[in-house]
Amino acid sequence: MKKVVKILLIVISILFLACLVSIWISYNWLTVSDFTVASSKISEPFRMVLISDLHDHQFGRNNEKLAEKIQEQAPDLIIIDGDMINEDSENADTAVEVVRALKEIAPVCYSYGNHEYAYMEAGHTDLRAELEEAGATVLNYRSIDFEVRSNPIRLGGLYEYGFESGMQSEEENERAVSYLEEYTDTDRYLIMCAHRPESFYPWDHADTWGINLVLSGHLHGGQVIIPGLGGLYNPLDGFFAEYDYGQYKLGDSDMIITRGLGSNPKILPRFNNPPEIAVVDVIPE
């Protein structure tokens, strides 16, 4: 009997240690995931790096390890897709430091997540000015036109729903629709930074608007990844939902959802879910 108990304790100890190791890896072992999207609007391949959901985490001093890993990918454009800080952060130093480091690599565009919104609502009204001073182009109901390796691109940012969801006010619906009408009035390749993927994936609304590529985060890969089953939980769709992380087709539109780099410490820890740098290669069709 004593031998059985001893074996059981050893097994439990090994499992407990394995859980601790997986949690540590899920916050500290930077990984790179490669995605490819093709479009007839593209004449020359270009590369973007997409990061999201850092939640004030640090990969080395001032996130220097994160910056080094991103530099290795040789991007033409860097997209920061929100929740780089927490709603209760004392300041935005983490996000600002990341922007300052990354602007030396490639142009940086920053789109807000729910934590940036909550942070500003708590009285930190200078966030946009800080990010822009650090070198980012802030995309919040804002679009910019530019050329990336001779390709005409329009990049936009929208946190709210791109359709009447019943989850936002009539004024918010009208504002979102008005912005999207202006944003989509172009022949350029359309990239939308939408922190919450559910802003566009229900009923293929990205395709309805004619958006070529939606870049999202927010879901943390389902927070816990179960081998063979995927992410544990999507806040909108529940357990083991279709949308958790990776690449999706929404009609003729593409969507990439990054697992992100961290998580809010107030929720379930990430598990079997290493932090992700998403590399997106856009190529001619």
Considering only CA atoms, which of 185, 196, 197 is closest in space to residue 154?
A: 185
CA 79 to chain centre: 8
**Do the Cβ atoms of 266 and 257 come closer than 8 Å?**
no
Angstrom distance (rounded) from CA 87 to CA 255? 26
Tell me the percentage of the chain whose pLDDT exceeds 70: 93
Domains and CATH numbers, the chain: 2-284 (3.60.21.10)
pLDDT at 142: 95
Render pLDDT for 46-95 as a digit per residue (tens, 0 to 9).
999 999 999 999 999 999 999 999 999 999 999 999 999 999 999 999 99
Mean pLDDT, range 111-126, rounded to an integer: 94
Mean pLDDT, range 180-189, rounded to an integer: 97
Residue 16 has pLDDT above 60, yes or no: no
pLDDT at 83: 97
DSSP secondary structure letter of residue 271: B
- Confirm whether pTM is higher than 0.75: yes
Angstrom distance (rounded) from CA 214 to CA 249? 10
pLDDT at 4: 61
Angstrom distance (rounded) from CA 177 to CA 173? 6
CA dihedral 94, 260, 232, 273 (to 10 degrees): -90
Residue 267 has pLDDT above 80, yes or no: no
pLDDT at 228: 87
What DSSP letter does each residue of 157-212 carry, written as one string? E--S-SS--SSS-HHHHHHHHHHHHHHTSSSSEEEEE-SSGGGTTGGGHHHHHT-S
Considering only CA atoms, which of 196, 190, 188, 189 is closest in space to residue 163?
A: 196
